[in-house]
């Protein structure tokens, strides 16, 4: 009984503590909660990093499928770790250089590919099924491509149409969805608070 | 205002828990959640594991609720597949979510009386940023055969990368997207995906057929109440001039 009740009780207490600053503003409590969260995150990162290395080295040892990628991932992670330790943190010149000229360009390149993936998804959808909704989606993707195309006068012509007709519909739709998400979050918090759900997996 | 909303929610949750025993209307159909038990069966039959991507969110930040919406799916999956010997793959982008996912899997196996620990490669930390996570997932789906892939949690535009790659490799994909951006980019891949509030409507407990769950009933009650309040406020403002 205690084994079940203790984690659920602690979770309910934490939920109440987190809600308190929203109802009764207490900067100190908010700061304490933030610090506790940051400390937890720091320890979890160490455990996560060790788990990451263990999983990848295990795959390399077993010569599982894709093991060369695992080897590269684990060795790169270790190299960055040692570099950070040598420079006393993640703000040193070499780690900064790696971040600026390695990680950021890679992520930006991947981000730049997303419109192509979007168009590819659209093409697949049109091959599989055509409906009114798919036409609206085609219009959306075309609008995105037109608005973000540099050096052509269409965006300025399209701009007023977008602001007058499309933006209110899109904003309204997104706001509706976000309100639905808020409902979902409130229900989840209340159910956890009342022990109807136990996200720690004990029931 | 906040206190009132919380009190109202508590009251409605209790009311719905009570009413769910008496109301005899079929629960609303949510396509993705209907497919998940089927995919669990398929995984157990074929011996291929399921994959659950918990998204790029964490559990200590302000968007923890989005990750926990995927956590519900994880709890149910872990419990259902624990009967077999094929633990699912869970991929995360946050170290706290990694510990959470590992705990849920181990707890599910412990309850089945299986004392062995979950292999470390079953819960993977794929990348610390959303884009790195998406890149890691594409590699994972290319190298690891899975029965189905469930994407449930915080995904934004990078979700299309993962969804497209999983479809290219013929992996059956199920999307439950609380974030509107993630839902928008994944819609062409599966128009029946769970969007917004629907992503929170997956019950980790057993549901009884032909009886609405208290969870869905609470969602619906609050949703209709909110709609009525908004319409009333809009009408009031319009009439006042």
Nearest 5°: the CA angle B211, B212, B218 is 155
Question: Cβ neighbours of residue B63 under 8 Å, at least 6 residues apart?
Answer: B57, B154
* pLDDT in the model for residue B142: 86
Contact status of A118 with chain B (Cβ, < 8 Å):
yes
Contact status of A134 with chain B (Cβ, < 8 Å):
yes
Nearest-CA neighbor of A191 among B229, B29, B205?
A: B205
The confidence band for B53, taking pLDDT boundaries of 50, 70 and 90, is very high
Question: Cβ neighbours of residue B193 under 8 Å, at least 6 residues apart?
Answer: B31, B32, B174, B175, B176, B177, B183, B186, B187
Question: Cβ neighbours of residue B178 under 8 Å, at least 6 residues apart?
Answer: A181, A184, B65, B66, B69, B153, B154, B196, B197, B199, B200
pTM, 2 dp: 0.84
Nearest CA in chain A to B215: A187
Nearest-CA neighbor of B144 among B190, B98, B106, B88?
A: B88
* pLDDT at position B208 over 60: no
Instruction: Give the ipTM of the model, two decimals please.
Output: 0.82
* pLDDT in the model for residue A150: 67
Q: Residues A87-98: pLDDT tens digits?
A: 877 777 888 888
DSSP code per residue over A26-61: -HHHHHHHHHHHHHHHHHHHHHHHHHHHHHHHHHHH
* pLDDT in the model for residue B17: 67
* pLDDT in the model for residue B89: 93
Q: Residues B84-107: pLDDT tens digits?
A: 778 899 999 999 999 899 888 888
The confidence band for A113, taking pLDDT boundaries of 50, 70 and 90, is confident
* pLDDT in the model for residue B148: 92
Q: Which residues of B touch A194 (CB under 8 A)?
A: 10, 13-14
- Whole-angstrom Cα distance, residue A4 to residue A17? 21
Optimal mutation site among A3, A42, A44, interface B, most CBs of chain B within 10 A? A44
* pLDDT in the model for residue A165: 73
The percent of residues in chain A predicted with pLDDT above 90, rounded, is 7
- Taking one residue from A and the other from B, the number of pairs with CB-CB distance under 8 angstroms is 180
The confidence band for A116, taking pLDDT boundaries of 50, 70 and 90, is confident
Q: Residues B125-184: pLDDT tens digits?
A: 888 889 999 998 998 888 888 999 999 989 988 999 999 889 888 888 999 999 988 998
**In Å, how far is B168's CA from the nearest CA of chain A?**
10
Q: Residues A138-177: pLDDT tens digits?
A: 877 777 777 666 666 555 556 666 677 777 888 888 888 8
Backbone angles phi, psi at B90, to 5 degrees: -125, 130
Contact status of A172 with chain B (Cβ, < 8 Å):
no
What DSSP character marks residue B122? Answer: G
Which residue did the predictor score with more confidence, A202 or A188?
Answer: A188
Nearest-CA neighbor of A191 among B99, B203, B101?
A: B203
Q: Residues A127-141: pLDDT tens digits?
A: 877 788 788 778 777
The confidence band for B240, taking pLDDT boundaries of 50, 70 and 90, is confident
- Count CB atoms within 10 A of the CB of residue B165: 21
Q: Residues B16-44: pLDDT tens digits?
A: 666 666 666 666 678 888 888 888 888 88
Q: Which residues of A touch B218 (CB under 8 A)?
A: 187, 190-191
Contact status of A189 with chain B (Cβ, < 8 Å):
yes
Interface touch B143/A194, C-beta < 8 Å: no
Interface touch A121/B135, C-beta < 8 Å: no
**In Å, how far is B27's CA from the nearest CA of chain A?**
17
């Amino acid at each position: 009984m205690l084994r079940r009740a203790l984690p659920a009780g602690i979770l309910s207490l934490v939920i109440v503590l987190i809600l308190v600053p929203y109802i009764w503003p207490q900067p100190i409590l908010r700061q304490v909660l933030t610090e506790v969260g940051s400390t937890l995150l720091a320890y979890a990162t160490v455990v996560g990093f060790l788990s990451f290395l263990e999983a990848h080295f295990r795959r390399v040892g077993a010569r599982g499928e894709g093991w060369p990628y695992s080897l590269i991932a684990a060795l790169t992670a270790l190299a960055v770790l040692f570099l950070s330790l040598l420079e006393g943190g993640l703000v040193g010149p070499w780690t900064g250089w790696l971040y600026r000229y390695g990680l950021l360009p890679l992520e930006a390149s991947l981000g730049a590919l997303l419109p192509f993936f979007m168009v590819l998804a659209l093409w697949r959808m049109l091959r599989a099924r055509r409906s009114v909704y798919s036409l609206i989606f085609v219009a959306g993707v075309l609008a995105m491509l037109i608005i973000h195309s540099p050096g052509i006068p269409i965006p300025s012509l399209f701009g007023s149409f977008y602001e007058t007709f499309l933006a209110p519909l899109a904003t309204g739709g997104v706001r509706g969805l976000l309100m639905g998400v808020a409902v979902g979050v409130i229900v989840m918090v209340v159910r956890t608070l009342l022990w109807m759900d136990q996200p720690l997996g004990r029931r | 205002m906040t206190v009132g909303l919380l009190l109202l929610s508590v009251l409605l949750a209790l009311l719905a828990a009570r009413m769910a025993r008496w109301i005899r209307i079929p629960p609303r159909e949510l396509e993705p959640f209907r497919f998940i038990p089927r995919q669990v069966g398929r995984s157990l039959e074929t011996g291929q594991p399921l994959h659950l991507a918990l998204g790029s969110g964490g559990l200590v930040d302000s968007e923890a609720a989005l990750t926990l919406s995927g956590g519900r799916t994880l709890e149910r999956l872990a419990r259902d597949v624990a009967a077999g010997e094929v633990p699912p793959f869970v991929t995360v982008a946050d170290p706290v979510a990694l510990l959470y996912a590992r705990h849920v899997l181990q707890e599910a196996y412990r309850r089945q009386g299986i004392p062995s620990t979950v292999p470390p490669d079953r819960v993977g930390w794929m990348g610390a940023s959303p884009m790195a996570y998406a890149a890691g997932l594409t590699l994972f789906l290319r190298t690891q055969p899975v029965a189905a892939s469930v994407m449930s949690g915080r995904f934004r535009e990078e979700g299309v990368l993962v969804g497209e790659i999983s479809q290219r490799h013929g992996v059956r994909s199920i999307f439950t997207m609380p974030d509107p951006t993630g839902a928008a980019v994944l819609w062409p891949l599966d128009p029946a995906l769970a969007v917004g509030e629907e992503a929170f409507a997956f019950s980790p407990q057993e549901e009884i057929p032909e009886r609405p769950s208290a969870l869905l009933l609470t969602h619906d009650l609050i949703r209709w109440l909110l709609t009525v309040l908004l319409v009333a406020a809009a009408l009031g403002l319009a009439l006042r001039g």
